[in-house]
Structure 1
């Protein structure tokens, strides 16, 4: 009985200590932990791609610059979503989308409003739009990392989108991004050639066309032209950084880079 009482007292002490340790523990910083803490009600993105037949590509862009962006502005003003970005490809590529659209939602449940829109506007395209192009993919995504400040005049920016396929678990990829990818991106921002960046993570990566997505804003064609020389400069500065060095030689075992392309922003009037 004495032993049982002592064990009971010890158990209560351990339980109290555990509760105190949990209460005082710092919040997790990983993307996965942030997602769990939000319980599905945090900020959310949908990333869409579109493809037009070559003979309709010009008409599709003109539609998005007029009726398309006007319709999205109306939905934004009605609170269907909190923001969006249209990125139209600067060059024709048979294998790549003609346009990406990134839609921001204040919380995941707001996507229900978008699903209501899609009953009549597949991929956000009205009757005039669906005869010009087709939505190809629509992916739930988290904004994993972002940095810099977008240019005030987006018409002077040139974006590059780079999709990746990951070969490792989410926690390992986050460590790789924190130690190898993000330090380089921050260095590019500091140079002034790349005003901002965002890294999106696919919430449902199984058999998906991409697992992570880099959206890089460059200072026009000049920023893209100096991209390779800037990469070399920043990598040389990071050469002795332990985190960068950890992944520099094995990055191809972490993820595979897919074909990048450049894009211009379609802006509301």
Structure 2
């Protein structure tokens, strides 16, 4: 599992080797959602499959929101790069096809946001299991990146591992934007639930896990002070339409 605390030396090494992750969000008009979904399935997914087969891309995931919502994204693409060569290859693609989409696919796309990020924690299978339903929760934080990473290690990880143990969650991955100033989010928690049944159990499992962790002094202290560390933004429910 990726280390949850990023030291300055680790961040420097990541910067030298190329960005580790790229999270791309796409927005369209409500009427444009079917066309965007088709473009992602029939044009972007095959392109990413070829990049993965040629070892030009480590992993990818394409998510599409379940419902139209003008407050946030319609689609989210998560790209994982192993080294600078892989990230450079994507930058070359993006120059010709912004966000990986051709001009026809971009015609009804109203916004594309590409966020260079680092995955600072994960649990469960990378693919999220065989029947994942995803919840993406963006956050802004008010402390230094190292302090936020320490908070995530002490507060977030024990809970998400508890949700996996309870059987509701298949996997999770936590990202931090590398250059967050002015962006729509500073960190993002991507949760892969065990189908709709797992998602339906979310509230009960969260409550039970927090109750069991309350006796841990370190976790309890983080729970009491979390509102001074981060603020939660609008969560999105999405299905994986391609990727591993």
Specify if TM > 0.5: yes
Q: How does 1:185-196 map to 2 (within 5 A)?
A: 185-196=160-171
1:255 to 230, 234, 238: 230
1:68 to 2:8 alignment: no
Q: How does 1:85-234 map to 2 (within 5 A)?
A: 85-149=61-125, 150-153=127-130, 156-234=131-209
Alpha-carbon offset, residue 135 of structure 1? 4.4
CA distance in 2, matches of 1:188, 1:29: 18
CA distance in 2, matches of 1:115, 1:103: 12
Q: Which has the larger radius of gyration?
A: 1
CA distance in 2, matches of 1:109, 1:95: 35
8 Å contact from structure 1 (residues 164, 210) kept in 2: yes
Q: How big is each residue's C-alpha offset from its partner over 1:105-139, in whole Å with a ceiling of 9 and x where there is no partner?
A: 11134322111111221100023311232442101
CA distance in 2, matches of 1:248, 1:92: 33
CA distance in 2, matches of 1:75, 1:128: 21
Larger proportion of strand: 2
Q: Specify the alignment match of 1:244 in structure 2.
A: 219
1:44 to 2:20 alignment: yes
Query: What TM-score, normalized by structure 2, do the two folds share?
Result: 0.92
8 Å contact from structure 2 (residues 29, 110) kept in 1: no
Query: What TM-score, normalized by structure 1, do the two folds share?
Result: 0.83
Higher RCO (CA < 8 A, seq sep 6+):
2
In structure 2, runs of 5+ residues without a counterpart are: none
CA distance in 2, matches of 1:29, 1:50: 28
Alpha-carbon offset, residue 220 of structure 1? 1.1
* Larger CA deviation: 188-197 vs 122-131: 122-131
Q: Specify the alignment match of 1:18 in structure 2.
A: none
Report the number of matched residues.
239
